[in-house]
Amino acid sequence: MKRTSGVVMLGRYRAALLVGSALTAIMVPQWASAQTTWIGTTSDWSEPTNWTNAVPTDATPTTIDGTAVGGAQLTTEDGKAGSLTQSAQSLDLNGKNLSVTGGYALGGGSLAAGSSTITAGEMTVGGTGTVDGNGYNINATSTFTVQDTGAVTGTGTINTNTFTMTGGTVGADVTVNATTSNVSGGSGGKYVNSGTYTVTGTVGASSFENKA
């Protein structure tokens, strides 16, 4: 009976170890997705020591603020982030592409888009944030918003389901392709509408094409 009891107890101990291991395995991805902030002593996005918690993946909440002395540049590979909040500094895509699983909030600093492709669940350009480049494509699956004094300039295309503009500037050589557009402020842009286009007040646009 004692031996049987010992076996039972050993079995319970092993079961507890297995449960503990399973919980550890489940928690590891959560740790891997912890927030990371740009602290770059060099401009290399792909250098782990330029981040507080390693180079971001497509599941990492990512911040670029005034912590670092200088901005970030994509060098050896495309950039990824789970979400991206940029309030200062510059992000130079340098011919690489940027993919953000969730939202990209550009409230300050600049995005040097060049001729790259930027993909995000949603994107907001506000505050003093700016986007500039020559031949870039921005694919914002859900919404693209321009507000405050945010500016999207240069030559490029914005593809989104809902485009909202309450302030700021969209350059004359930037084409906006949207299913629904709500414009109540700001100026500029070439609007290509395939659904509902709502304008409140007087809003300047370099051209407008309605495909609805």
What is the chain's pLDDT, residue by residue, as a tens digit (212 residues)? 444 444 444 444 444 434 444 433 434 344 446 999 999 999 999 999 999 999 999 999 999 999 999 999 999 999 999 999 999 999 999 999 999 999 999 999 999 999 999 999 999 999 999 999 999 999 999 999 999 999 999 999 999 999 999 999 999 899 999 999 888 888 877 777 677 767 666 556 656 676 66
Instruction: Write down the pTM of the prediction.
Output: 0.81
Among candidates 84, 107, 102, which has minimal Cα distance to 38? 84
Give SS3 for 156: strand
Predicted confidence at residue 207, as pLDDT, reads: 65
Burial bucket for residue 44 (CB in 10 Å: 0-12, 13-18, 19+): middle
Question: Rounded CA gap, 155 and 110, in Å?
Answer: 15
Q: What is the DSSP string of 121-155?
A: EEEEE-TT-EEEEEEEEEEEEEEEEE-TT-EE-SE
For 114, list phi and psi in degrees, rounded to 5: 60, -130
Q: What is the CA radius of gyration of the chain?
A: 23
